[in-house]
């Protein structure tokens, strides 16, 4: 990539000669790239370009949009190896997983929209009315660092498919895959101004993006704190918002479940991307009389998750993405000890042989008390809370007992019983007995976890306004 010192505005790579932001390698802590710390003027130029391009792109044909997405899909497949290594180095996800997830999911999601678009009803009849679905306008996309390209694709593909124009502010911790995306789009038939990329800090370019009157929608994935700021700013101008934020998801293991399988499934989910996943199952709720056995199983599973170099094919647990995140997680582990929970595995000390980079031991706490900070707050690291419960009603109460509502899991030998319990979760999705993730199903949260849905037709509808013609 030769364009990291630039922004992509109105179909051109625009030089940036101001301050820059260092991008660090998660496994070593070394600086591997520098990107623009852009100013408000650069963001305003990008918004103006998107605004000017909106009228013609909003009237483009479905065939035009599909052709661009087909070209994008081909480019994502062609550069998959480069994308996987880039994200592996920035974020710390082991290369084997990064290949399937960080590089694979963006292509998969793009493909789902290519399959869906030809049959999507952009107009439909309702009695004597023709109902039309029109693009919302210029969309500001603000994306996180944990799944940096995947989260961008979840926004820009349906936005472009809807006929919107886009200004993207990627996360400055892991921005390089967004530059790969811009290079791919630059080689497609997408008209200039439809997609724009400006890199910089949230308090400058992000603030400009969410408050600019030409931006009619903000699609954001990240922390609940930042989502709160965006919601307030959007309210002043009545912008549409789609917010996908934090989680503290519960994995409820019912008394009749296969305990070993349920603990293994929970651990694998909790530690994916070193716990840097908003849907991570970070609270494992177990019957009180099986608590100690569950902790033993969790400790054994965690022992196999030795932190190591994420670029090695055999590594299963990589580092965290930044020094700041590592320090935050270590502080939470220390808090767990201070709060009196039982340290079952791991701890705040650096893992052996991992003196460089941002590594944290996979950590398990037992006898975690509902309502404690460790049980309530999103840690965003490889930390599992084992919470004992008394009966099914108690388990559901604890599972729903946080401000979040993004994901969850239920394990039972009785599939219908598991579904019944899952239906009582105040969350946007529930994995029942380890069911597979479905990229066509709606994804989003209740409560402080978000507003709106991504993936499938629900993801496309977020970028459409509804208009009815009375005939």
**Four-residue CA torsion sign, 373, 374, 380, 385:** negative
Q: Give 448's DSSP letter.
A: G
pLDDT tens digits along 95-122 = 999 999 999 999 999 999 999 999 999 9
Computed over every residue of the chain, the mean pLDDT equals 97
Distance CA 459, CA 455 (A): 5
The answer on pLDDT for 406 being more than 80 is yes
Q: For residues 154-193, b (16+ Cβ closer than 10 Å) or e, as one string? A: bbbbbbbbbbbbbbbbbbbbbbbbbbbbbbbbbebebbeb
The H or E element spanning position 383 is: strand 383-389
Cβ contact 281:427 at 8 Å: no
More confident site: 141 or 353: 141
Cβ contact 388:291 at 8 Å: yes
Cβ contact 344:377 at 8 Å: no
Nearby residues of 296 by Cβ (< 8 Å), 6 or more positions away: none
- Please return the burial class of 320, using the count of CB atoms within 10 Å of its CB with bins 0-12, 13-18 and 19+: buried
pLDDT of the residue at 2: 77
Cβ contact 334:374 at 8 Å: no
pLDDT of the residue at 78: 98
**Four-residue CA torsion sign, 229, 382, 201, 243:** negative
Q: Is 470 left (phi over 0), alpha (psi -120 to 50) or beta?
A: beta
pLDDT tens digits along 20-41 = 999 999 999 999 999 999 999 9
The answer on pLDDT for 421 being more than 90 is yes
Q: Residue 353 — very low, low, confident or very high, per pLDDT cuts 50/70/90?
A: confident
pLDDT tens digits along 368-390 = 999 999 999 999 999 999 999 99
pLDDT of the residue at 277: 97
The answer on pLDDT for 1 being more than 80 is no
Q: How, if at all, do strands 165-169 and 195-197 pair? A: parallel
pLDDT of the residue at 169: 98
Q: Residue 19 — very low, low, confident or very high, per pLDDT cuts 50/70/90?
A: very high
pLDDT of the residue at 3: 87
**Four-residue CA torsion sign, 165, 234, 146, 252:** negative
Asked if 6-245+448-470 and 249-438 have one fold, the answer is: no
Output the pTM of the full model: 0.96
* Most distant CA atoms of the chain, gap in Å: 72
DSSP-based three-state secondary structure for 32: strand
pLDDT of the residue at 153: 98
Residue spans per domain, the chain: 6-245+448-470, 249-438
Q: Mean of the pLDDT values across residues 278-305?
A: 97
pLDDT tens digits along 183-202 = 999 999 999 999 999 999 99
User: Domain 6-245+448-470: which CATH class?
Assistant: alpha beta
What percent of the chain clears pLDDT 70, i.e. is strictly above it?
100
The single residue listed with the structure tokens 């402080």 is 448
Distance CA 435, CA 432 (A): 5
Q: Residue 87 — very low, low, confident or very high, per pLDDT cuts 50/70/90?
A: very high
Sequence-ordered alpha helix ranges (H) in 339-403: 373-376, 392-399
Distance CA 165, CA 55 (A): 9
Distance CA 215, CA 204 (A): 16
Per the structure block, which two tokens stand in for 76? 């994502």
Q: Give 202's DSSP letter.
A: I
pLDDT of the residue at 355: 84
- Please return the burial class of 379, using the count of CB atoms within 10 Å of its CB with bins 0-12, 13-18 and 19+: buried
pLDDT of the residue at 233: 94
Annotated catalytic residues are 244, 278
Nearby residues of 269 by Cβ (< 8 Å), 6 or more positions away: 251, 279, 280, 281, 409, 431
Question: Which candidate, 101, 92, 104, places its Cα nearest to that of 316?
Answer: 92
CATH architecture of residue range(s) 249-438: 3-Layer(aba) Sandwich (3.40)
Q: Residue 306 — very low, low, confident or very high, per pLDDT cuts 50/70/90?
A: confident
Q: Mean of the pLDDT values across residues 155-162?
A: 98
pLDDT of the residue at 409: 98
pLDDT of the residue at 256: 98
């Amino acid at each position: 990539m030769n364009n990291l010192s630039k922004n992509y505005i109105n179909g051109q790579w625009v030089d940036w000669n101001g301050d820059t932001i260092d991008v660090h390698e998660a496994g070593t802590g070394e600086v591997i790239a520098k990107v623009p710390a852009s100013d408000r003027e650069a963001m305003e130029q990008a918004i103006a370009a998107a605004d000017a391009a909106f009228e013609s792109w909003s009237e483009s044909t479905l065939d035009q949009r599909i052709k661009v997405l087909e070209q994008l899909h081909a480019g994502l497949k062609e550069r998959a190896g480069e994308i996987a290594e880039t994200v592996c180095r920035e974020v710390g996800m082991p290369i084997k997983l990064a290949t399937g997830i960080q590089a694979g999911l963006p292509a998969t999601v793009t493909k789902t929209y290519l399959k869906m678009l030809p049959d999507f009803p952009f107009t439909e009849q309702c009695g004597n009315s023709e109902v039309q679905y029109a693009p919302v306008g210029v969309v500001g996309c603000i994306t996180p660092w944990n799944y940096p390209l995947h989260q961008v694709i979840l926004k820009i593909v349906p936005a472009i498919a809807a006929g919107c124009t886009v200004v993207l502010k990627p996360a400055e911790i892991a921005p390089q895959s967004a530059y790969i995306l811009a290079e791919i789009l630059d080689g497609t038939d997408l008209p200039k101004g439809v997609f724009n990329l400006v890199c910089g800090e949230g308090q400058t370019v992000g603030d400009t993006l969410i408050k600019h009157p030409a931006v009619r929608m903000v699609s954001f994935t990240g922390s609940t704190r930042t989502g709160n700021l965006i919601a307030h700013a959007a309210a002043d101008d009545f912008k549409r918002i789609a917010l996908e934020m934090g989680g503290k998801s519960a994995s409820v293991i019912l008394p009749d479940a296969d305990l070993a399988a349920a603990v293994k499934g929970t651990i694998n989910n909790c530690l994916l991307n070193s716990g840097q996943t908003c849907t991570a199952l970070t609270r494992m709720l177990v019957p009180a009389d099986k608590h100690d056995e569950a902790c033993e199983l969790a400790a054994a599973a965690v022992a196999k998750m030795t932190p190591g170099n994420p670029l090695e094919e055999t590594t299963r647990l990589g580092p965290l993405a930044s020094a700041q995140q590592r320090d935050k997680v270590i502080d939470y582990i220390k808090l767990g000890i201070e709060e009196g929970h039982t340290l079952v595995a791991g701890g705040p000390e650096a893992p052996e042989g991992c003196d460089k980079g941002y590594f944290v031991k996979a950590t398990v706490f037992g006898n975690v008390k509902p309502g404690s900070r460790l049980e309530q707050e999103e840690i965003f690291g490889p930390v599992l809370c084992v919470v004992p419960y008394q009966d099914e009603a108690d388990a559901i109460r604890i599972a729903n007992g946080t401000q979040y509502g993004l994901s969850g899991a239920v394990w039972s030998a009785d599939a219908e019983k598991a579904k019944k319990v899952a239906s009582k979760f105040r969350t946007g999705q529930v994995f029942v007995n380890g069911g597979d993730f479905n990229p066509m199903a709606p994804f989003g949260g209740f409560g402080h976890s978000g507003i709106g849905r991504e993936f499938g037709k629900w993801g496309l509808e977020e970028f459409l306004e509804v208009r009815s013609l009375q005939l």
